Amino acid sequence: MALAIPISEPAPSPAAPETSGTLTVDLAAIEANWRTLVHELLTVECAAVVKANAYGLGLEPVTTTLVTAGCKTFFVADIAEARSVRSRAGEAAIYVLDGFTPDWGDAFIEVNARPVINSTTELAEWDAFVSARSWQGGAALHIDTGMRRLGIAPDEAAALAPRAQTENHGIALIMSHLACADTPDHPLNATQIKLFRDLHMLYSGIPASLANSSGIFLGDTAHYDLARPGAALYGVNPTPGKPNPMQSVVELTGRILQLRNVERDETVGYGATWTAKRASRIAVVALGYADGLVRSGGGTDEHPGGAAIVAGKRCPIVGRISMDLVCIDVTDLPAGAVHRGEHATLVGGDIGVDDVAAAAGTIGYEILTRLGPRCHLVYRGG
């Protein structure tokens, strides 16, 4: 006979003295980023995408902050996230991007959430469910205009359009997703915007949503009735190649465990990928890829890596980043400027998540969602 093992509550964030890293999330900066989009760029409603635990930064505190700022619509990945948002946003509209499955049906009623319908099969299942339950909660209809992941095909959307003119049609929103909005000159942007405009005309009177974070910066033709920023709220640059209009949101610091001398032509780290070109001073910091940094973000003999701020100065990361440790070249700091037990900043100051991502060959989204699972977590400004 199997034993039932009780499931305990998640462990709290480690206390600061018990871990070597600290992740700080600036809730005031998240609010400021939302307000920047609302007041400087949009004349339509601004929702918030808080999927993936608010991009790794904490679904409930982030939702609370945005509700206080005035946000009235949220997008999440699944029904569990919808439940968390509802606990902090009693009156908000909540859309579930992963769509509808009959297993989640009753939870949609309980939470008062709306599925984003991604196929005609889902739509049939949703129709059967709401008919059986006499539920009038509404759903979003996701049209694939060029991303080619989820969503009903344009010809299917056109065939379904007469439904929008019937009573109790149940479509609260039509939406699509831009594939290349972070590359403003990409021709697919214009193709998707035109196709969505043509389809929207068939759904007269139903609100529409197309623009993600970068899509907001493509201009009014992408805004429609509801914008859906995600990454921009959390400090990722929605305009790559241009100055970031968003405030930085996160800071990741780690304790310096040791300072050591490395002679010229000696190597540092796994694989001996970085060789000292001079006698060097190396700070070994207690952070690694288990804390959300990316293994490939360190400097090698062939390629420069990322950087950290030590004693107020930007210093290069050298050698491969390992699970628990990262090595920083502090040779150019004045003698006595840095000591064991002090902290280095791996994200924060003039080192944004996009800088960390670029050094590792990835994107700021991935860095954000990986950061700090075992760090002491601090919220400020909320």
Predicted pLDDT at 333: 98
Q: Are 28 and 235 in contact (CB under 8 A)?
A: no
Predicted pLDDT at 5: 41
If we measure between CA atoms, which residue out of 174, 99, 131 comes closest to residue 108? 99
Whether residue 51 lies in the annotated active site: yes
The catalytic residue among 203, 242, 270, 289 is: 270
The catalytic residue among 51, 95, 203, 234 is: 51
Q: Which residues of the chain have pLDDT under 50?
A: 1-10
Residues in CB range of 67: below 8 A, 6 or more apart: 88, 89, 92
Predicted pLDDT at 1: 40
Predicted pLDDT at 149: 96
Q: What is the pLDDT of residues 312-340, one digit of tens each?
A: 999 999 999 999 999 999 999 999 999 99
Q: What is the pLDDT of residues 212-243, one digit of tens each?
A: 999 999 999 999 999 999 999 999 999 999 99
Predicted pLDDT at 16: 61
Q: What is the CA radius of gyration of the chain?
A: 24
Predicted pLDDT at 137: 87
Paired with 116 in beta bridges are 140
Q: Are 355 and 2 in contact (CB under 8 A)?
A: no
Q: Are 200 and 174 in contact (CB under 8 A)?
A: yes
pTM: 0.93
**H-assigned helices in the chain:** 27-36, 51-55, 59-69, 79-88, 105-111, 120-133, 154-160, 187-202, 213-216, 353-360, 364-370
